[in-house]
Each structure stands twice: as C-alpha cells, then as structure tokens.
Structure 1
Amino acid sequence: MADIKLPPDLIALERSAWEEIQAGRLTLDTARAVHEGIAAFAEQARVPRYDVEMGLKRIVRHPAAEAA
C-alpha cells in the first residue's frame, strides 16, 4: 500500500467497528458507516478502496507494526 494519510475520523470509526467485532456486537449501522467512509475517502483521494481498507485495518488491528 502506498503511504495514504488516513483521516483521524475514519480511523476512529474503524476502531469502533473493531471493538464491536471483538465484543461480538457489530451492528449493521457501524459496518455500513465504515464501508461508506472508506468508499468516500478512496474516491476523494483517488486511491483504491482496498488500499484504504487494508491501511485502516493495519493501523487499528496491528498498531505495533505501525510504530516500528
């Protein structure tokens, strides 16, 4: 993935979704909000949606790898 500067609000949204997933209570509204946020950012930044999604997952789910 190219270095994409992801907005803090999108990172926070993914973090909320990840917490819901881990608690076994992910809602359709949260999942939809994340999906729509990723799609909107990818379109605005003109980068592949997949790269945005994977970047978010890496930041939220593997923060130690980002710090290295």
Structure 2
Amino acid sequence: MRRRLNDEERWYEYPRCYFTNDSVDIQRIFTDALDRLGIAWRQMNRKNISVARREAVARMDEFVGPKY
C-alpha cells in the first residue's frame, strides 16, 4: 500500500484478508463469526469484507492460521 503523508510517499506493507461472496446470508455468517472472535472488519462494497487492522489480522491468524 502506498500513502502520501506530508508530501512524502511512503510504503506500508502488512497482511490483509478479504472475503468475497455475493450471498448476504454467507457474508452475515462470516461477519458474525468475526464479531464473536473480536476481529475488526469492514464492508468494502456489496460483496467484499475486509480484515485489515494489524491486530485483527493477527487474531484471525491465531484462530485460522496464516494464509501467506
């Protein structure tokens, strides 16, 4: 990820997880599980869920295992 901060361009690299599904019901099952585990998530658009906070990805790795 590239960000501009105070006229400086910086690179940030860290793992992120995305879940994509057209079914609202399946998305709900996934996000309910994340909520129960205390994992922060965001709805990116109508079919994508993102887990991007460093501590949230670390917690997901503890439960599911790293995917990278």
**Global fold match (TM > 0.5):** no
Question: For the pair shown, which has the larger CA radius of gyration, 1 or 2?
Answer: 2
Higher helix share: 1
Considering Cα pairs closer than 8 Å and 6+ residues apart, tell me whether 1 or 2 has the greater RCO. Answer: 1
The answer to which structure has the higher strand fraction is 2
